[in-house]
Structure 1
């Protein structure tokens, strides 16, 4: 009961600091093809003429091909083999253990909104921070 009250208080409070990205690249390396683009991303890249991006995109319009879960499924593929990529093709390494997004100016919406637990000062790098569940993890680590 007390734990739920504290967690709900944390949820309602406005964050004091913005999350900080360490540029470790784990989100793009660990999540890999798990990050699915939105139809809006696909449309934006078409209107921008970003064929350098579109060549890596697999677009599923047939429900049977999408395992019946999605109306549209857009994922990263190897343009040569058609196989799913293990990580984002636009992740570029610079320096020791630091990464950057080569398409930052037009990256997928899900990437814009993604923050890992470590960015909030708790948990692991590359593990998505999910609202209340993420806050419960922070609470458990702090209060214990």
Structure 2
């Protein structure tokens, strides 16, 4: 990693530490709109290009990094997650449920909760046991999804389902929320919040200025 890249990474880390609360507040209040009127920004100038990239999630698996801070161990750090769920609109398409795949990992608590509802043997018949993970994997397409009524165990669904479409942050952007681009609702959220990046970038620029000034002072 070059010195410049290291400084940028440090600025983003500091941004997450110092501004995660104000960052969410500014976005909630729509402060990006005034900033976008003040200067050109890629979220406006290259909006169509960005939308095309996001829409590739329809057929190409990848995660979208969102302009909201990821949760960490600090109290109140779930502000970004909370704002996501406030604005996220599930399309109720069921794609995350009926798409064939490797299967859905069930936490021990998930398995016990669902088994108490329908019976252990019946649930096992809908799963495969992974000896490496030592866990039950629910087969996909999900046997609990109904094309007309949706999820048949919605109130006791697995933890993974309650968090979807959010995924762990990407290694390149570890301080931001990430969402599965396969989800139509996640893609709409990403498109509608492109302008929020100007707030992130303003904070990064402020911190970069401080870090560079500190570095220059130390070299004297």
Q: TM-score range by the shorter chain?
A: 0.5 to 0.7
Q: How many residues align?
A: 113
- Residue 123 of structure 1: how far off its partner (Å): 7.5
For 1:124, the equivalent position in structure 2 comes to 181
1:54 and 2:120 equivalent? no
Secondary structure of the residue aligned to 2:136 is: strand
Residue 92 of structure 1 aligns with which residue?
146
Distance in 2 (alpha carbons) for counterparts of 1:109 and 1:125: 19
Q: Which residue, out of 113, 119, 122, partners 2:163?
A: 113
Once residues 111 and 150 of structure 2 are traced to their aligned partners in structure 1, the CA distance between those partners, rounded to angstroms, is 21
Residue 19 of structure 1: CA displacement?
Answer: 1.9
Taking a change above 3 Å as real, the CA distance of residues 23 and 38 of structure 1, as seen in their structure-2 partners, is same
Query: Any conservation in 2 of the 1:58–1:76 contact (CA below 8 Å)?
Result: yes
The TM-score with structure 1 as length reference comes to: 0.54
Shift of 1:34: 4.1
Higher helix share: 2
Residue 141 of structure 1: how far off its partner (Å): 4.1
List alignment gaps of at least 5 residues for structure 2. 1-7, 24-67, 70-76, 168-178, 199-220
Quick check: which has more Rg, 1 or 2? 2
1:123 and 1:41 mapped to 2: Cα distance? 22
Question: Matched residues in 2 for 1:116 and 1:25: separation?
Answer: 16
Tell me if structure 2 keeps the 8 A contact 1:91–1:100. Answer: yes
Cα RMSD after superposing both structures = 4.1
Whole-angstrom CA distance in 2 between matches of 1:126 and 1:101: 16
- SS of residue matched to 1:53: helix
Q: Specify the alignment match of 2:59 in structure 1.
A: none
Report how far residue 52 of structure 1 moved: 4.1
* Gaps in structure 1 of 5+ consecutive residues: 78-84, 130-134
Residues 105, 137 of structure 2: 8 Å contact kept? yes
1:80 corresponds in structure 2 to none
Question: Is the Cα contact below 8 Å between 1:123 and 1:138 reproduced in 2?
Answer: no
**TM-score when scaled to structure 2?**
0.39
Q: Distance in 2 between matches of 1:141 and 1:30?
A: 28
Counterparts in 2 of 1:34 and 1:140: CA distance versus 1, 3 Å: farther
Q: Deviations over 1:106-126 (max 9, x none)?
A: 211111121269xxxx98343
